[in-house]
Amino acid sequence: MRLLSVAGLTIARAAGPVGRPVVVDAGVVLGPAQTLGIAGESGCGKSTLLLALMGIVKPGLRVAAGQVWLDGTDILSAPAEDQRRLRGPVVALVPQSAALSLTPTMRIGAQLAEALAVHGRLAPAARPARVQDLLARVRLPDPARIGHRYPHELSGGQMQRVAIAMALACKPRLLLLDEPTSGLDASTQSGILDLLDTLRRETGMAMVCVSHDIGVLARLTARIAVMYAGRIVEDRPVGAFLRHPAHPYARALLASVPRIAALVLPLSIPGRPPAPGSVEQGCAFVPRCVRSGADCVTVPAFRDVASGGRVACHAPDEGPLILPAARTGATGAVRGDGVLIVRDLMVRYGKAGPLARLVGRPAPPAVVDGVSFTLAKGEILGLVGESGSGKSTILRAVAGLWPRSAGVVTLAGSGELAAQTVQRDRRALQRVQIVFQNPDASLNPRQSVREILAQPLRLYFNATPAEVERQGRDLLADVRLDPSYLERRPGQLSGGERQRVALARAFAARPDVILCDEVTSALDVSVQASVLSLIRALCRTRGTACLFVAHDLAVVAALCDRVAVLHMGRIAEEGPATLICTAPRHAYTRSLIEIAQRNAAFGEYPEPLPS
Amino acid sequence: MTASSTLRAVLKQPSGVVGVALVVAHVTMALVAPMIVPHNPTLQSAGAILQAPSWTHPFGTDRLGRDLLSRALLGGREAMLIATLSTVAAMLWGAMLGLFVALQGGRTDAYVMRIVDAMVSIPWVLMVMIFVAALGVGARALIPVLSFSYGLSVVYIARAAALDFVARDFVLAAQARGERRVTILWREILPNVRDTLAVQGAMQWSWILLGISSLSFLGLGVAPPAPDWGLMIADGRGIMQAAPWTVLWPMAMLSSLIVGVNLAADAIAKALGVDRTFGVAAP
Amino acid sequence: MTFAQQLMTLAALALLAAPAQAEKVLNRANDLSFGGAESLDPLSPNRFYEVNDMIYSRLVRQNDAGEPSPELATSWTSNAGATEWTVTLQPGVTFHDGSTFDAADVAYSLRRIEDPTLESPVSSVLGIIGRVEVKDDLTVKIVLETPHAGLPLLLLDYRVRMIPEGSGPTIGQTPIGTGPFRVESYDPEGTTTLVAFDGYWEGRPLIDRVQFTAIPDSEARNQAMLSRQIDLNSVTRDQLALFKDNPAFQLQSFPAGGWFGIVFRTDTAPYDSAKVRRALRIAVNRQDMMTLMVGADGGTVGCDTPVRADDPYRADLDCPQDVDAARALLAEAGFPDGIDVELTTSDLEPGMVRFAEVFQAQVAPAGIRVAIKLAPSDGYWDDVWMVAPASVTSWGERPADQILNEAWRSGASWNESAYANPAFDALLDQARSTLDPVAARVLYIQAQALLLAEGGTFIPYQEDGRRVLSARVRGIKPLGEDYIRWHLVDLVE
Amino acid sequence: MPRKIAGRLAAAWITLVVIAVVVFVGVELMPGDACTAHLGRDAARAEMLTACRDRMGLDRPPVERFALWAADLAHGDLGVSMKRERPILGIVGPRARNTLILAGAAALAGVPLAILLGFLCGLRREGPFDIVTSTVALVAMTMPEFVVASLLILIFAIWLGWSTGVVTAAYDAPALTLLLATPLPAITLALVYIAHILRMVRSSVIDTVGADFVLMARMKGVPERRIVLRHILPNAILPSISLIGLTLAWLLSGVVIVESVFNYPGIGRLAVNAVADRDLPLIQAIALLFGLFYVLTTLVSDLVAMALNPRLRSLRG
């Protein structure tokens, strides 16, 4: 008996140029209590596919072909009332962003009760008890009180748990999860994954989970499907997939995931996915593929793989996944004179106003409390910690974008740095550059790449247009972008390309110190790998020191010479990357390592779970 | 977005077509009217007082026997000119102040906006009347007044639009580079709020035009005998029962222009993806 | 509920339901021209004209021909030099408070004109009264400082009303007159109610009550008239069509003395040249101008005379349009290429702006280029009038002697054109002291001819009064407001 | 929450003070003074002018006059009208009542209608109802008030004869009389109100309809009707409340034109007269009153928004 059966599902844009559909010819079969993970990078169509499983197609899209049979009903063509009856008791979804998916004006309890009420489950009198029960099941503390709260009064993790409780309300037989942990802290992530795993075991429901993070899927599901450019290219049992990925894309994808145990830069995938709306001509991965041949001009059909599952490739590689060799010892550490010295840095958010001082209200707690470190010339120092640990604040305080409460920041050759950029001289400003997390926000959408690069050149070196042109081309070449990109605007670039431009802009100032604030966390994993190697290369060739802030220890460990672990505003531990990762001394460091290992544990994946 | 692609997106919307057509028709008319009007708009005729529309006078005549077709065709020129000058001035000072306080933030922002709040709470008509009493009647004298009172709402719009961007990382990046405030305003923020301000400018223009007409209607605007729609409506209002044509034509002309500008601005806003929900008419 | 209570309730309902007593109520509108500062003191600069006309009486009133005729004065005679006037009063007249009207009241009311604290504009007209002697209860002697043969004409002034002796300080709030109506309630910005005065000396009025509603906007008053919320109203030419041929209304038009004019200050270049002044005035076709402004039959064309058409002292002069002569005059005066005139006006009164527009169009063929400057309506009388070199002016009806003296005598405070001609002043002096009306007429006409020849004021016509009455109103003749005998006005359903 | 309300009240108070200063300075800039306006033609006589100025206290320096006025104001005394020579409170009071009747009638009839229409338009975005209604709204909000007013008079009063054209009721007429006189002026005023609020609500609804939580409710299997009423409606309207208040306050200035055209005996027409009379204390009082209307309307709408919107209610401070 099939619970879910998708056949030939194609979802296209409702308007605009005819091109490659968002989801092409997707086929999925799932029995009761079975699990499937769908992996892929942003824009591959995985979320669209997931929503279609509930019979929902977002505005602007339309079902061009195919059916989604859910418990014997084609939910896509069923009348609205039948669709509604299926949602809840048969299929339920945990949305990507719980914070946006809870109705702001309704109490948590009411929203849960509503889910029960609309399907006529339970007499109204029995609902409050069931609501509390649900909240307890998702391990929320004090369910009675949580039920009376509004969504905005909960933390992100709590909201995610509420969303799960809501999905579970009508005891669905199929649970859909859309990036269930993205946007959450590593430890919170881990808790949610544990919970989902437990719930699945307890209820025996089937599960389809979509994520860009293969580690998440490996923990939750027994099968993994990989999507690329709207198509499912590989559909394998998880163990076989992780050890012997067959599709060249899947192999490259797995190789680009940074691993805590390896301590080397992961491999990146050259090129970029086909633009949305481009016309499909044969295998979509060809331009980036290491093994392309003559028959790749046709769309490959699925073929079975010996170790289980199937793959859509004309020339699949069934050999074991080869990863870069692990780094050992404290190699690569460059120790030289300190170029940036931070002493006893303290930052508080907000300032006690006169009224607060009058009534004796205590000053707000310090976000950064007594942090000291030295960045050597040409060294890459990683600053790692969870959100709220104060790592970005340190970066901004050093850059002069956030007032510090105490402490001294010294830049060798420029002396002590003033607290605010406006008080710093041009030379000091030029020597310290910052790169932000999100290149969408840090590049002015109205400026061309040329204008973006021209700004530091003009500001610090009074460059003429001709010099801007020449140096702009050089900088683009340095970040591996074509000179034609000078004319483009950020909107015409991919996320990775934008971050390269942001890096180019920072290096245009020929800085001695570059501050990187979570520069890869908004990027897809394959793109992240290339940006990391770019940063390493730029710093090494130019002798620029880098302060690299990230929440992912695996990323930091892969890139940095030295690592400082930040915990609650203080440095818990500091040392060479290899040492920190192999022989942590602080308990907090150990927990970070554990989480990183668990979340990306597919290197040593055990035998598949019985399904 | 380039100008031509914006225009194409505007013309895809039916309201955009109507709006642009009305505006183009009005502007063309204002430019060529002096050459094509059938009669001298100020020629009085004791023998042709308050004549209903006829072949000689397709729009009829007014109390002084003047040809209403000629007057209606010419009746927007002065107001349009003044509206244009006032809009430019209002947009200039309003946008500059709005952008400046948005970037400055903190106390400057709070103080300035409090004063702007207070100004805004006084009805613009009252404010203009006070100004007119101070500066004297005359359409040109209205320019500083109108640009001041209408600029107040530009301050709001520009500030709100800029606030969307001042917290963005690219502004932060510019600050980190040590760019001067003026440079940040000019290079980083202005290009991003340009569309919003352009749409706002178009709407301001229509509102100022409306304001001038209202003032002319109240006798504080364009001076006779210059043909002006507001004046014509005021002049004919008392006799519209007996001679409705004296008010209907100028009403139709004024309304179609203002509605046209707004339809066009609305379509442009949609095409540019600018949110113009909170474009309240009077400041 | 007891039976008695029920009965009382029924009775109360019956009373409420009963058709309103056929009380005759005349509904009027007041125009709030003083913005709420209207005073019931007849001498106040803010006199509440519409009400005062109904509650007070004058010594002398117009007969239908506009000549002085007895009201509270039954007869008047002067000495040979026209410096002492003896006035006999109507016996048996009572005030609204029941007191009797006598010579002391007259003396008090006339002397009050000179009271400087009142700031009364009437003092410029009747300031010539030196003293008032009470001869007996019904006789007073008025002694003038300068001879004036036309004193009864001056006493026609609508502000010279008789009030009880000593009532001055309170008259503005508690009006007591001898008129046909007395004030019941008074709120110039809201409603003001008058009731018939049973003790009126000419007999109780035919209507019981007059209700005034403040409607400042003339357009609104017209609407109120159309919806018959009010019974009488003045109308403009353009509004006539709304009432014409409608059985619900009666239309009246009558000669009146109000006029718009254009003042060219004779002491300011280029208007200090009499040739320029004359050119500006003869360039106009006055008949056309009147037709455009008020209609071909909306008034009486005149030749820069401020005197109303049916005034015995009006000069009937001839002043045809002569564009060539105007051009020639301008050339002689040193403006061969025409002249630029900046004419200031305001929408203070309906038509004041249009008047300038029509003038502008009229004189254009003579090479006179008029630029119209619009001044704020508030402040027009202090900032523009008597200041701007050329401006539009507006005057209400006044007796010939009064207006000529008020606006053209050298040094008069309202001499708006700054006209100063000893010969003109001498003519006026001579006319005033001439008791023979025929001889006086000759002198007044000479004075007006002088103004046409070299004056600085352009007066193309006197506008007729136009009034619309609801069909039920009776007893109002087609004459000016001052002529109406309110006690004879009746309402017939 | 209490601190937030206190802060809001303080801001309102400061705005009022700033308004007072701005108005006083504005009026001071006017040429002439109450006496020249008051005496009219007689102002040419120096002795009358001096007497008047002396009586009105106009010979004192402006700063002193402002101080005196502000001190009286603090005691609830608006002063005495120069022109009318009566306490301003008595002049302004009944007219403020009339304006409130007019604006209230317009708002009570208009705001719910606007919200309803905006809501329907937002739900049926780009549907025929939305396109027609939105276009009509755009036309309505851009037509000059005096044109709308004149058109309404022409159509309803003159051609159809359904109502009287202009209001002839006196300022002290009973509330009911005034209410019966309000239809045309209220419609004129409300048209602009309705159009603005409609567009605001519509765009808020469009944003809400596309929100994730609406999709989520749909995925929970919640019936459409309930989604609209429980999930979309409150979340679309609540954030608009403050904006609706601001719009109402902003558009209140429309009463100046509307009252002038319809001869409605309210504060707007009084304002026109007061400026014409240059009745300094009266102008100040009226401007202050407009400021007060504005501040109160926005204050009330903000407080209502705070009370109804859980997100605002529980924010710190």
Tracing tokens 């962003």 back to the chain, one arrives at: A97
Percent of chain C's residues with pLDDT above 90:
55
d(CA A220, CA A207): 9
Nearest to D205 by CA among D110, D98, D127, D119: D119
The pLDDT tens digits for C61-73 are 988 888 899 999 9
**Does D173 reside within a domain?**
yes
Report A:486-525 residues touching B (Cβ under 8 A).
505, 509
Chain mean pLDDT for chain A? 85
CA distance D74 to chain A (A): 26
Chain mean pLDDT for chain C? 88
Other C-beta atoms closer than 10 Å to the C-beta of C13 total 10
Radius of gyration of chain B (CA): 22
Of the candidates C238, C291, C375, which has its C-beta nearest B137's C-beta?
C375
Q: Is C372 helix (H, G, I), strand (E, B) or coil?
A: strand
* Residue C39 token pair: 């005073």
Report A:111-130 residues touching B (Cβ under 8 A).
none
Indicate the pLDDT class of residue A532, thresholds 50, 70 and 90.
Answer: very high
Q: In sequence order, what are the residues at sequence separation of 6 or more whose Cβ sits closer than 8 angstroms to the Cβ of residue C193?
A: C183, C184, C185, C209, C210, C211, C212
**Does D287 reside within a domain?**
no
In one letter, which amino acid is C469? Answer: L
Answer yes or no: are the C-beta atoms of C406 and C375 closer than 8 Å: no
d(CA A387, CA A186): 9
Q: What is the mean pLDDT of residues C442-464?
A: 94
Distances (CA, A) of B73 to B246, B249, C43, D148: 13, 9, 51, 21
d(CA A119, CA D7): 46
DSSP-derived letter for residue C200 is -
Measured in whole angstroms, the distance separating CA A459 from the mean position of its chain's CA atoms is: 34
Answer yes or no: are the C-beta atoms of C388 and C418 closer than 8 Å: no
Report D:229-248 residues touching A (Cβ under 8 A).
230-231, 234-235, 238
Distances (CA, A) of A487 to A446, A453, D233: 12, 11, 46
Tracing tokens 């709260």 back to the chain, one arrives at: A149
Q: In sequence order, what are the residues at sequence separation of 6 or more whose Cβ sits closer than 8 angstroms to the Cβ of residue D174?
A: none
* A603 pLDDT above the threshold of 50: no
> Nearest chain D Cα to A55, which residue?
D219
> Nearest chain D Cα to B16, which residue?
D135
Q: Is D241 helix (H, G, I), strand (E, B) or coil?
A: helix
d(CA A54, CA A32): 16
In one letter, which amino acid is D223? Answer: P
Structure confidence at residue C457 (pLDDT)? 95
Indicate the pLDDT class of residue A608, thresholds 50, 70 and 90.
Answer: very low
Answer yes or no: are the C-beta atoms of A548 and A467 closer than 8 Å: no
Chain A meets chain C (3+ C-beta pairs below 8 A): no
In chain D, what residues touch B114 (CB-CB under 8 Å)? 11, 14-15, 18
CA distance B103 to chain C (A): 42
Phi, psi of A359 (to 5 degrees): -90, 10
The pLDDT tens digits for D251-276 are 777 888 888 888 888 998 888 777 77
Task: State the first-to-last Cα distance of chain D, in angstroms, to the nearest integer.
Answer: 6
* A332 pLDDT above the threshold of 60: no
d(CA D111, CA B149): 26
B44 vs C324 pLDDT, higher one = C324
Indicate the pLDDT class of residue B282, thresholds 50, 70 and 90.
Answer: very low
Q: What is the mean pLDDT of residues C248-253?
A: 92
d(CA B19, CA B263): 5
d(CA D262, CA D269): 9
Q: What is the mean pLDDT of residues C400-410?
A: 88
Report yes or no: D257 at the B interface, CB cutoff 8 Å. Answer: yes
Best residue in B5, B12, B107, B169 to probe A by mutation, most A CBs within 10 Å? Answer: B169
**Does D297 reside within a domain?**
no
The pLDDT tens digits for C171-220 are 988 899 999 999 999 888 888 999 999 999 999 999 999 999 888 777 77
Measured in whole angstroms, the distance separating CA A12 from the mean position of its chain's CA atoms is: 26
Radius of gyration of chain D (CA): 24
Indicate the pLDDT class of residue D313, thresholds 50, 70 and 90.
Answer: low
The pLDDT tens digits for A117-170 are 887 767 888 888 889 988 988 888 888 888 898 888 888 888 988 999 999 888
Of the candidates B173, B177, B191, which has its C-beta nearest A446's C-beta?
B191
The DSSP bridge partners found for residue C26 are C210
Q: Strand A91-94 and strand A73-74: pairing?
A: unpaired
Indicate the pLDDT class of residue A606, thresholds 50, 70 and 90.
Answer: very low
In chain C, what residues touch D91 (CB-CB under 8 Å)? 36, 189
* B275 pLDDT above the threshold of 70: no
* B92 pLDDT above the threshold of 90: yes
Answer yes or no: are the C-beta atoms of C209 and C193 closer than 8 Å: yes
List domains and CATH numbers for chain C. 175-254+465-491 (3.40.190.10), 255-464 (3.10.105.10)
Number of Cα atoms under 13 Å in the Cβ half of residue D89: 7
**Does D156 reside within a domain?**
yes
Structure confidence at residue D317 (pLDDT)? 32
Q: Is A196 helix (H, G, I), strand (E, B) or coil?
A: helix
Q: What is the mean pLDDT of residues A267-278?
A: 78
CA distance D10 to chain A (A): 14
Tell me if ipTM is over 0.95. Answer: no
* Residue C45 token pair: 């600069």
Give residue D170's domain range: 101-282
d(CA D76, CA D66): 15
D210/A86 CB distance under 8 A: no
In one letter, which amino acid is C65? Answer: A
d(CA D51, CA C119): 10
Measured in whole angstroms, the distance separating CA C157 from the mean position of its chain's CA atoms is: 8
CA distance C291 to chain B (A): 6
* A50 pLDDT above the threshold of 90: yes
Q: What is the pTM of this model?
A: 0.81
Structure confidence at residue A307 (pLDDT)? 82
d(CA C363, CA A336): 96
Structure confidence at residue A214 (pLDDT)? 86
Q: Lowest mean pLDDT: which of B73-82, C468-477, D137-146?
A: D137-146
D42/C223 CB distance under 8 A: no
Indicate the pLDDT class of residue A176, thresholds 50, 70 and 90.
Answer: very high
Angle between helix C422-432 and C400-408 (nearest 10): 150
Structure confidence at residue A527 (pLDDT)? 87
Number of Cα atoms under 13 Å in the Cβ half of residue A234: 30
Report yes or no: C369 at the B interface, CB cutoff 8 Å. Answer: no
d(CA D197, CA B280): 10
Of the candidates B123, B134, B233, which has its C-beta nearest D256's C-beta?
B123
Indicate the pLDDT class of residue A486, thresholds 50, 70 and 90.
Answer: very high
Q: Lowest mean pLDDT: which of A578-592, C140-154, C183-197, D4-18?
A: D4-18
Report B:1-60 residues touching C (Cβ under 8 A).
42-44, 46, 49-50
* Number of separate domains in chain D: 1
In one letter, which amino acid is D44? Answer: A
Structure confidence at residue C7 (pLDDT)? 52
* B135 pLDDT above the threshold of 80: no
d(CA A252, CA A398): 37
Q: Strand A338-348 and strand A406-411: pairing?
A: antiparallel
Using CB atoms, list chains with 3+ pairs below 8 Å to chain A. Answer: B, D
Best residue in D263, D267, D270, D273 to probe C by mutation, most C CBs within 10 Å? Answer: D263
Answer yes or no: are the C-beta atoms of C389 and C271 closer than 8 Å: yes
| DSSP calls for A253-275 | HHHTS--TTT-SPPP---S-PPP
Report D:7-36 residues touching B (Cβ under 8 A).
11, 14-16, 18-19, 22-23, 26-27, 29-31
**Does D29 reside within a domain?**
no
Report D:77-106 residues touching B (Cβ under 8 A).
none
Q: Strand A562-567 and strand A380-384: pairing?
A: parallel
Q: What is the mean pLDDT of residues A171-192?
A: 84
D229 vs D22 pLDDT, higher one = D229
The pLDDT tens digits for A16-27 are 666 778 899 999
Structure confidence at residue D316 (pLDDT)? 40
**Does D218 reside within a domain?**
yes
Give the CATH number for residue D256.
1.10.3720.10
The pLDDT tens digits for B173-182 are 998 888 888 8
Percent of chain D's residues with pLDDT above 90:
9
**Does D36 reside within a domain?**
no
Using CB atoms, list chains with 3+ pairs below 8 Å to chain C. Answer: B, D
Q: In sequence order, what are the residues at sequence separation of 6 or more whose Cβ sits closer than 8 angstroms to the Cβ of residue C17?
A: none
Of the candidates C219, C242, C379, which has its C-beta nearest B242's C-beta?
C242
* Residue D33 token pair: 């003074």
> Nearest chain D Cα to C29, which residue?
D168
Answer yes or no: are the C-beta atoms of A44 and A227 closer than 8 Å: yes
**Does D266 reside within a domain?**
yes
C9, containing H or E segment: helix C3-17
Structure confidence at residue D38 (pLDDT)? 60
Structure confidence at residue D23 (pLDDT)? 76
Percent of chain C's residues with pLDDT above 70:
94
Answer yes or no: are the C-beta atoms of C46 and C39 closer than 8 Å: yes
In one letter, which amino acid is A67? Answer: Q
Return the biggest CA–CA distance within chain C. Answer: 100
Q: Is D115 helix (H, G, I), strand (E, B) or coil?
A: helix
d(CA C224, CA C234): 12
Q: Is A11 helix (H, G, I), strand (E, B) or coil?
A: strand
Q: CA quadruple C271, C272, C275, C281: dihedral positive or negative? A: positive
C122 vs B90 pLDDT, higher one = B90
D148, containing H or E segment: helix D145-152
* D178 pLDDT above the threshold of 90: no
* C447 pLDDT above the threshold of 80: yes
d(CA C336, CA C481): 48
Q: Is A353 helix (H, G, I), strand (E, B) or coil?
A: coil
Task: State the first-to-last Cα distance of chain A, in angstroms, to the nearest integer.
Answer: 15
Q: What is the mean pLDDT of residues A363-383?
A: 86
d(CA A206, CA A513): 51
d(CA C167, CA C182): 15
3-state secondary structure A383-446: EECCCCCCHHHHHHHHHCCCCCCEEEEEECCCEECCCCHHHCCHHHHHHEEEECCCHHHHCCCC
* A557 pLDDT above the threshold of 90: no
d(CA C344, CA C387): 10
Report yes or no: C378 at the B interface, CB cutoff 8 Å. Answer: yes
* D54 pLDDT above the threshold of 80: no
Structure confidence at residue A420 (pLDDT)? 85
